[in-house]
Amino acid sequence: MNDVDDIILSISGLTKRYGSKVVADVPTLDLRSGEFVTIVGPSGSGKSTLLGMLTGTIEPTSGEVRIRGKAVTGLPPERRPTAMVFQSLALFPHMTVGKNIEFPLEVQRVAKPERKRRTLELMRQLRLPEEFYGKGISQCSGGERQRVAIARALAYDPEILFFDEPLSAIDYRLRKTLEVELMDIHQETGKTFVYVTHSLEEAMIMSDRIAIMRSGKIVQVGDAQTIYSAPANKFVADFLGEINVFDCRISGINGKTVQLDCPDASCSLRAPALPGLQEGQPLCLVVRPENMSILGDADHCDNVIEVTVEHELMLGSRIQYHARLGTRKIIVERLSEVGGLVPAFAPKEGDRVRLGWNSDGGILVAE
We report the CATH number of the domain holding residue 51 as: 3.40.50.300
Co-location of 90 and 222 in the same domain: yes
Give the domain CATH number at 279: 2.40.50.140
- Average confidence score pLDDT of the chain: 90
Co-location of 225 and 279 in the same domain: no
Q: Is residue 2 part of a domain?
A: no
User: What is the tally of structural domains in the chain?
Assistant: 2
Could you report the per-residue pLDDT of 108-131, keeping only the tens digit for each?
899 999 999 999 999 998 889 999
Output the pLDDT for position 193: 97
Co-location of 169 and 300 in the same domain: no
Q: Is residue 1 part of a domain?
A: no
Tell me which residue range forms the domain holding 28. Answer: 7-232
Q: What percent of the chain has pLDDT over 90?
A: 63
Rounded Cα distance between 210 and 54, Å, is 16
Sign, CA dihedral 111-112-113-118, equals positive
Co-location of 223 and 260 in the same domain: no
Rounded Cα distance between 183 and 3, Å, is 23
Q: Is residue 105 part of a domain?
A: yes
- Domain end call among 232, 258, 277: 232
Q: Which helix H or strand E contains 318, and what residues bound it?
A: strand 318-325
Q: Is residue 50 part of a domain?
A: yes
Co-location of 228 and 246 in the same domain: no
Output the pLDDT for position 1: 40
Residues 6 or more apart from 199 whose CB is under 8 A from it?
40, 167, 168
Rounded Cα distance between 204 and 287, Å, is 19
Could you report the per-residue pLDDT of 138-194, keeping only the tens digit for each?
899 888 888 899 999 999 889 999 999 888 777 788 888 888 888 988 998 899 999
Co-location of 349 and 325 in the same domain: yes
Co-location of 269 and 184 in the same domain: no
Residues 6 or more apart from 60 whose CB is under 8 A from it?
14, 15, 16, 53, 73
Co-location of 195 and 96 in the same domain: yes
- Domain end call among 205, 232, 259: 232
Co-location of 227 and 254 in the same domain: no
- Domain end call among 232, 261, 281: 232
Co-location of 115 and 253 in the same domain: no
